[in-house]
């Protein structure tokens, strides 16, 4: 097992539902899935990319596994495993099947809510997008290629979010996701070491190699920058150079949100206002020839293209 019983119980209390037998994969209902069902708003990914929030499956095949312990991460980092230690693991078909079942079980209460959109409720039974981003580093899951392929066979779009540190796995993905995200949360190695707190050697070099590889992908690509006030909102010209090297289709500049276990490491003072995020994104865009083409004030995120 990847977790002991108390760790798993803590995560389940916060909304996680573990799937499979080996305790490394889970699903969790996104706030915006609930809001969309009630017609109270949608995720910025629907606004930016057309992904239907009520049909999005938020999941991860590698909840405890990550090579970083980022200051701004909402996870409880006490259970983080830098490498994949389990010799046995669940197969992609099982993970997907049980993740969909878990999501449906978590949403069943909405069928008794008079304010729920009945059409959307029926559609939630068959999600169409997988946000492979709930927690952990998904490329550490040994069958990440087959997981994406299986989602494809089931007519899902896939948004894969990676920290870029498992560069060999990224470079050799046989099945590309619909959209590949790379997290870029520092303009220099010094800031990266403080903010992202890597737990492997050569992490900054690996990230840079992944950035250089990004332009070779046929899928849509995106750089995501999480802005932490007082930590990494500096040197927009250096961010721009790294973005130019990667040449992604999109760049998302998004505020750190003071939620979850990150509150033990950071404070509300580290959460930038939307106007601060937008101003910083504009500076980055000016340096690399990109314009702000969309924004979501409630999520404090802007899109450069």
List per-residue pLDDT tens for the chain, 305 residues long: 466 677 777 877 777 899 998 889 999 999 999 999 999 999 999 999 999 999 999 999 999 899 999 999 988 888 888 888 777 899 999 999 999 999 999 999 999 999 999 999 999 999 999 999 888 999 999 999 999 999 999 999 999 999 999 999 999 999 999 999 999 999 999 999 999 999 999 999 999 999 999 999 999 999 999 999 999 999 999 999 999 999 999 999 999 999 888 899 999 999 999 999 999 999 999 999 999 999 999 999 999 99
Secondary structure class of 146 (helix, strand, coil): helix
Locate the domains of the chain by residue range: 5-304
Long-range Cβ pairs for the range 275-281 (8 Å, 24+): 276/227, 276/229, 276/233, 277/227, 277/253, 277/301, 277/302, 278/302, 280/227, 280/233, 280/236, 280/253, 281/251, 281/253
Task: Give the pLDDT score at 23.
Answer: 83
Q: How many of the other CB atoms lie within 10 Å of CB of 257?
A: 13
Task: Give the pLDDT score at 1.
Answer: 45
Contact 151, 99 (CB under 8 A): no
Task: Give the pLDDT score at 155.
Answer: 96
Task: Give the pLDDT score at 252.
Answer: 97
Domain 5-304 grouped into CATH 3.20.20.70 = yes
Which strand (E) or helix (H) includes residue 159? Answer: strand 157-162
Q: Global pTM?
A: 0.92
Task: Give the pLDDT score at 134.
Answer: 86
- What the block records as the tokens of 73 is 């991460």
């Amino acid at each position: 097992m990847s977790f002991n019983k108390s760790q798993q119980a803590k995560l389940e209390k916060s909304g996680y539902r573990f799937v499979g037998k080996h305790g490394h994969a889970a699903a969790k209902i996104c706030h915006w899935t609930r809001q969309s069902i009630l017609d109270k708003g949608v995720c910025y990914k629907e606004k930016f990319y057309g992904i239907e929030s009520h049909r999005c499956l938020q999941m991860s095949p590698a909840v405890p596994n990550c090579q970083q312990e980022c200051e701004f991460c909402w996870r409880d980092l006490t259970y983080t495993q830098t490498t994949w230690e389990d010799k046995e693991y669940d197969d992609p078909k099982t993970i997907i099947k049980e993740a969909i079942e878990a999501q449906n079980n978590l949403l069943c209460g909405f069928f008794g809510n008079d304010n729920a959109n009945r059409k959307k409720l029926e559609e939630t039974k068959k999600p169409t997008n997988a946000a492979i981003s709930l927690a952990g580093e998904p490329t550490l899951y040994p069958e990440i290629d087959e997981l994406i392929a299986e989602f494809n066979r089931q007519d899902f779009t896939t948004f894969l979010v990676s920290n870029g540190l498992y560069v060999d796995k990224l470079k050799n993905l046989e099945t590309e996701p619909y959209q590949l995200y790379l997290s870029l949360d520092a303009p220099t190695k010094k800031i990266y070491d403080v903010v992202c707190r890597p737990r492997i050697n050569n992490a900054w070099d690996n990230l840079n190699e992944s950035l250089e590889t990004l332009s070779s992908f046929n899928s849509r690509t995106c750089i995501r920058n999480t802005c932490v006030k007082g930590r990494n909102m500096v040197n927009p010209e250096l961010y721009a150079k790294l973005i130019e090297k990667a040449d992604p289709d999109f760049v998302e500049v998004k505020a750190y949100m003071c939620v979850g276990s990150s509150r033990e490491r950071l404070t509300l003072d580290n959460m930038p206002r939307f106007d601060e995020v937008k101003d910083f994104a504009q500076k980055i865009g000016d340096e690399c020839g990109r314009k702000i083409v969309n924004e979501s004030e409630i999520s404090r995120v802007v899109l450069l293209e």
